[in-house]
Structure 1
Amino acid sequence: MASVEIDDVRKSFGNHPVIKGVSIDIEDGEFVILVGPSGCGKSTLLRMLAGLEHITSGEIRIGNRIVNDLPPKERDIAMVFQNYALYPHMTVADNMSFSLMLAGASKSEIEERVKPAAEILGLSNLLHRYPRQLSGGQRQRVAMGRAIVRDPQVFLFDEPLSNLDAKLRVSMRTEIKNLHQRLTTTTVYVTHDQIEAMTMADKIVVMHDGIVEQVGAPLDLYDNPANLFVAGFIGSPAMNFLNGRLDEADAARFVTDDGVALPAPADLASARGKALVYGIRPESFSLGGPVELKVQVIEPTGSESQIVGLIGQTQVTCVFRERVMLAPGETLNVSIDPRTVHLFDAGSGIRLRD
């Protein structure tokens, strides 16, 4: 195991910069997830960490070594890819042990490493099978087993669950998290799915357009987003945003651009006069209150009612634990706890703090 330090790393393809000065400290044994929309640079950063892409500038350290110029095989990392990358003509056991065979490990050493890895991943009864005889989840476990037997300092995962169906993704999230808790190996995991990031990570790195927007524990990012991008990206359904300003006469009231009054945090009176964005999470609405919501769509999920409607002319999403029986076009009265509201500067996108 080892810590990982990414220090002002940049990457350009020709004159086009894709990583614009990223710095991240990853502690020994930590599970860190790089998350962001497609094209934000997260997979490129992971490939640079693996040695599969050259670094334009900056430094990457694994443990005490600067690895910028080391080939992948000398970095003591193991990578699990999105497409499994299994050899179709080899059995599960041979796929898992192939890197050890290339390294000249003895037959007994290979068996000593493959057997416990297969037991951890529930593959003991599948070692004689070929990839074509396995399900998608089983193939992904084989790819993980191949990484485990190498006993690396760092595991790298590049969107390993994106090819699986929704139910299997949920169970595999649990398996990967449980695996990390057992092995405690430093892990860097890339995904565009913020639910994966929230449920699995010790620390999340939110990336956008080649930069790091915010780093923190999952619930810290959810409760205290640094800016509009993080607020809108972390959380499902996403945070609702309404444009407007604080009331000049009463700073505890926010007035939207179309004249709807909403409760606001009383400790941000200094933002009077500024163009602001009002952020409220879907679950922060309560039934009954002074705010009128014109219902457009009702989506019952069983445990919750998700309602899409209009506050003034702005579309918002509300989530209620109660079952709400309404028809589109009807009006629902809701309330908002001002303690759950976030205000953002409309120009910079930065969240206002008291």
Structure 2
Amino acid sequence: MDELEIQGLVKQFGSELIIDGISFYVRDGEFLVILGPSGGGKSTLLRMICGIESPDKGRIFLKKRDITTLTPQQRNVGMVFQDHGLYPHMNVYDNIAYGLQKKGLTRSEIKQRIQTATDKLGITSLIRQPATTLSGGEQQRVALAKVLVRDADIYLYDEPFSNLDVRLRTQLRHEVLNVHRAKQRPSIFVTHDQNEAFTMADRIAVVAQRRLQQIGTAEELLQAPANTFVAQFIGTPPTNLLRAQLSQIDGQLVAEHNGIVLPLPRYWRRVLKQTVYDTLILGIRPTSIIPEWLFPQLEKVPSLILPATVRSVESLYAEVNLTLTLGKDTVVTATYQQGGDPLPTPGKNIRVAIETAHLQLFDPTTGKSLNRLFT
């Protein structure tokens, strides 16, 4: 069952359009991550869901109830803010208890809930400390405790780890997921960090340029981006995008870029013959460019093999990123898993195979994926 449904939300501040017709749903028990660059509308979207901001158009349904015009207090939403949202004049216990007191819970029930939450988050020893004496990580755990003690219908997290170091971010990601598993309610987590999104999400909603660009699993975003924005935004390194000319050579449909000829799989003929494209944007995933020393590991070496020159090498633990020049001056990035082979040196001439079965094609005007015409 869809616990949260967003229908055509629009938000404008003065003459500036912030959110432009965004729609999506969150299933019961699902952990959805809203991912996108800064200034793309992510936090504004979350603030409309919790009731801090009101949409100019559109509706918000929670458990099939229209909550669009309800106050935050009427929505039964648990939210963790980027700045923790703690009251500086209160100690830890009173910060956690405040929302429960407002709901009229008994003193014994409040004490029991706080004891359970602080034990789970490892902050029981801090409950009498003033909020102003806490470290950043401690403050965020108190903010999580405020959420954990509530029986909310949905839980929202607005970039809660953005001001913390990498070690603390990793620890608190586990804490947030533990809260989610304990509650089994829909959760929405906003971030601009792809690693965070890929680690935590059941599905990821890419929000940028005021719109929902795509929603899906991490694998779907990587392998089947909806448009060139998602292709360039998702993945480290992102998809290589090349403007290519369509033509035929001996009956074979090919895409040609700067002297590089890439044969297209036969199934593209059925789609492209219905269009008027003579140029398009070609997407090549870095993992689809395979250096020659990995050929022996392949069941079948792709038929398209091209000469390349290594421009730079970046070794990241088990992963290696190669920046290569194909042909005269086409620069692409290849990624592979390091298996003990010596790293190539810049300037070295090598051969690479390209898996043309995994090519992505995009409309040169709209940037939309042509792969989706198959589905």
What residue in structure 2 maps to residue 286 of structure 1?
A: 290
Does 2:361 correspond to 1:346? no
C-alpha displacement of 1:104: 3.6
Conserved? CA contact 1:96–1:146, under 8 Å:
yes
C-alpha displacement of 1:79: 1.0
Which of 321, 326, 333 matches 1:317? Answer: 333
What residue in structure 1 maps to residue 146 of structure 2?
A: 146
What residue in structure 1 maps to residue 219 of structure 2?
A: 219
What residue in structure 2 maps to residue 277 of structure 1?
A: 281
Conserved? CA contact 1:263–1:337, under 8 Å:
no
What residue in structure 1 maps to residue 239 of structure 2?
A: 239
Conserved? CA contact 2:247–2:278, under 8 Å:
no
SS in 2 for 1:52: coil
What residue in structure 2 maps to residue 254 of structure 1?
A: 255
C-alpha displacement of 1:263: 4.7
Taking the TM superposition and a 5 Å limit, the aligned residue runs for 1:91-240 are 91-240=91-240
Output the aligned Cα RMSD.
2.2
C-alpha displacement of 1:230: 1.5
Distance 1:113 1:213 in 2: 40
SS in 1 for 2:248: coil
Residues 134 and 263 of structure 1: is their aligned pair in 2 closer, same or farther, counting only changes over 3 Å?
Answer: farther
Q: What letter corresponds to residue 290 of structure 1 in structure 2? A: I
C-alpha displacement of 1:133: 4.5
Distance 1:122 1:42 in 2: 30
Distance 1:211 1:85 in 2: 28
Q: Which runs of 5+ in 2 are unaligned?
A: 293-303
Q: Deviation digits for residues 155-202 of structure 1, max 9, x if unmatched?
A: 111011111112332332233223212221211111122222222112
Distance 2:231 2:280 in 1: 14
Identity of aligned residues (%): 38
Q: Deviation digits for residues 98-122 of structure 1, max 9, x if unmatched?
A: 2123334322011121111122222
Q: TM-score, normalised by structure 1?
A: 0.92
What residue in structure 1 maps to residue 345 of structure 2?
A: 327
Taking the TM superposition and a 5 Å limit, the aligned residue runs for 1:20-39 are 20-39=20-39
Distance 1:210 1:235 in 2: 21
Q: Which runs of 5+ in 1 are unaligned?
A: none
Q: What letter corresponds to residue 280 of structure 1 in structure 2? A: I
**Count of equivalent residues:** 353
User: More deviation in 9-18 or 48-57?
Assistant: 9-18
Distance 1:103 1:2 in 2: 26
Distance 1:27 1:209 in 2: 25
Conserved? CA contact 2:2–2:25, under 8 Å:
no
Conserved? CA contact 1:195–1:236, under 8 Å:
no
Residues 346 and 223 of structure 1: is their aligned pair in 2 closer, same or farther, counting only changes over 3 Å?
Answer: same
